[in-house]
Amino acid sequence: MPLLSRRHLMMASGASMLAAPGLARAQAAGQTWPARQIKVIAPYPPGGGVDTVTRAFSEKIGPKVGQALVVDNQPGAGGVIGGAALARSAPDGYTLMVGSLVDYSIAPFFHQGLTFDMARDFVPVVEIANGTVGVLVTPSLPVTNVQELIALAKKEPGKLSYASSGFGGLIHLNYEMLKQMTGAEMTHVPYKGTSFFQADLYEGRVQVSIDNVLAHLPHIASGKVRCLAVASKARSPLLPGVPTMAEAGVPGFESATNYTLFVPKGTPAEVVARLNAAGNEAVKDPDFHERMLKLGIVPVGSTQAEVQAKMVSEMKRWGDVIQKGNIKPQ
């Protein structure tokens, strides 16, 4: 055998010998996992949507993997503190996180010095659920559908005001996406959160928002606010009489609050596969399903490949909206 070939063979053999212990450890981790309690980071405060979904999901998935899941709230900076904690965690299957594909797609554009990257540092395991987003208008606005709203906004650019829960958040970017797709220009009015603009929207001091419908459901039912369309692919079971944006004449406009299970990059594939299978079982649990729908949250479920592909598409979608709109941190 030529010397060069022998050298390459020896190098390859040496590399295999070095890799073998690591591979064996990963396989062993997958076979013995879980041997102890599992922590689930909720990157938002107790009592909110992410916390509620995390606790309900953890309660259902725990028995399916054979260990208790303990929720660890690490709120702050729009999910960034919890995301950074996940990225620092050992990739051994004992630290998970329920977070948003959307939030972590947006974060790099608005958080200077971000210490992690979703695509580089996280593995999305299963898409748990989505919150329903709707186009909301004050009842006094003389429009009955999305096309009339767009026509009015284009006729008098900037006259209509649009309420969001803060600059650079999903509600703000929903408007930016609508403006880029249709030319409907309104004046953006950022608030500190949905609860801060609800009264102004219902009483007509601001006229429009594209928000998660959960906080608005009782007011939609009472007529204090109107929902012209939902931004999901299919009609929402919460508002079956309300068309989708595609049905309303804006195909491709899709938006939702998102709840996805993540693990740190490097977690053994066997563990990821078991979490995906158990997570899908949890999502299909009738009690979980009913509890989520009552909160305005639609359970989803997915293969690991599907949620990985969605992560890539969400990063591109919101990155394109931000860059096209030349939206800079304030």
Give me the amino acid identity at 61: I
Taking the C-alpha atoms of residue 299 and residue 263, their distance in angstroms, rounded to an integer, is: 20
SS3 per residue for the chain: CCHHHHHHHHHHHHHHHHHHHHHHHHHHHHHHCCCCCEEEEECCCCCCHHHHHHHHHHHHHHHHHCCCEEEEECCCHHHHHHHHHHHHCCCCCCEEEEECHHHHHHHHHHCCCCCCCHHHHEEEEEEEEEEEEEEEECCCCCCCCHHHHHHHHHHCCCCCEEEECCCCCHHHHHHHHHHHHHCCCCEEEECCCHHHHHHHHHHCCCCEEEEECHHHHHHHHHCCCEEEEECCCCCCCCCCCCCECCCCCCCCCCCEEEEEEEEECCCCHHHHHHHHHHHHHHHHCHHHHHHHHHCCEEECCCCHHHHHHHHHHHHHHHHHHHHHCCCCCC
CATH 3.40.190.150 range(s) for the chain read 36-130+257-324
- 111 CA to centre of own chain: 17
Q: Can you give the pLDDT at residue 290?
A: 94
pLDDT tens track, the chain, 330 positions: 333 334 333 433 444 444 444 444 445 555 689 999 999 999 999 988 899 999 999 999 999 999 999 999 999 988 999 999 999 999 999 999 999 999 999 999 998 889 999 999 999 999 999 999 999 999 999 999 999 999 999 999 999 999 999 999 999 999 999 999 999 999 999 998 899 999 999 999 999 999 999 889 999 999 999 999 999 999 998 899 999 999 999 999 999 999 999 999 999 999 999 999 999 999 999 999 999 998 889 999 999 999 999 999 999 999 999 999 999 887
- Which pLDDT value is given to residue 22? 45
pLDDT at 214: 87
CATH 3.40.190.10 domain residues, the chain: 132-230
Domain 36-130+257-324 has CATH 3.40.190.150: yes
Tell me, yes or no, if the pTM score tops 0.95: no
Provide CB contacts within 8 A for 191, sequence distance 6+: 163, 164, 165, 166, 197, 200
Q: Residue 31 has what pLDDT? A: 64
Task: In whole angstroms, give the CA distance from residue 7 to residue 29.
Answer: 33
226 bridge partner residues: 137
Q: Which CATH number applies to 132-230?
A: 3.40.190.10
Cβ pair 64, 31 in contact under 8 A: no
Q: Are 104 and 118 in contact (CB under 8 A)?
A: yes
